């Protein structure tokens, strides 16, 4: 069965393998495994691939800190407490969302290019080579 882009994104949001939906994708706290332990999908996409996850992590951090900055901008929070809270958030949020944004970025890649997944390649190959007729009718 072909894996749809929606299912790929759903798996990514749950920090699961985009191909099989299982597996622990991290070999350590911050180290991505070289491949999925269940299906063997290579998670190493090439040098620089995960720079996109860093940008995504930055975006998540900005969105998380936006309420504090808006409260400060409208004068509802004093400058020093707002700055300290924003500084703490700027350190804590990227660390908290590191694993998530790596998985989300990987899922986004495969959602855009679903034919790159081994399950989808196998499904496509099965469709392009229909079973041969046996001559029996």
Q: Are 72 and 82 in contact (CB under 8 A)?
A: yes
Q: What is the DSSP letter of 114?
A: G
66-89 in b/e form (b: 16+ CB < 10 A) is: eebbeebeeeebeeeebeebbeeb
Q: pTM for the complete prediction?
A: 0.79
CA atoms within 13 A on the CB side of 42: 5
pLDDT, mean of residues 45-62: 93
Q: Cβ contacts of residue 58 below 8 Å, gap of 6+? A: 94
pLDDT tens by residue, 13-36: 999 999 999 878 999 988 999 999
Q: Does pLDDT of 137 surpass 50? A: no
Mapped onto helix, strand or coil, the DSSP state of residue 42 is strand
Q: Are 65 and 84 in contact (CB under 8 A)?
A: no
């Amino acid at each position: 069965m072909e894996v749809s882009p929606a299912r790929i994104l759903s798996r990514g949001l749950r920090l699961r393998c985009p191909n099989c939906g299982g597996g622990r994708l991290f070999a350590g706290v911050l180290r991505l495994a070289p491949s999925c332990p269940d299906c063997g999908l290579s998670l190493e996409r090439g040098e620089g691939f995960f720079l996109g996850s860093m940008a995504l992590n930055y975006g998540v951090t900005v969105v998380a800190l936006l309420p504090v900055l808006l409260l400060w901008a409208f004068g509802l929070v004093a400058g020093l407490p707002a700055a300290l809270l924003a500084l703490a958030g700027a350190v804590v949020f990227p660390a908290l969302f590191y694993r998530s944004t790596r998985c989300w970025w990987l899922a986004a890649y495969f959602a855009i290019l679903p034919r790159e997944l081994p399950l989808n390649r196998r499904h496509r190959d099965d469709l392009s080579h229909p079973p041969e007729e046996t001559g029996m009718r």
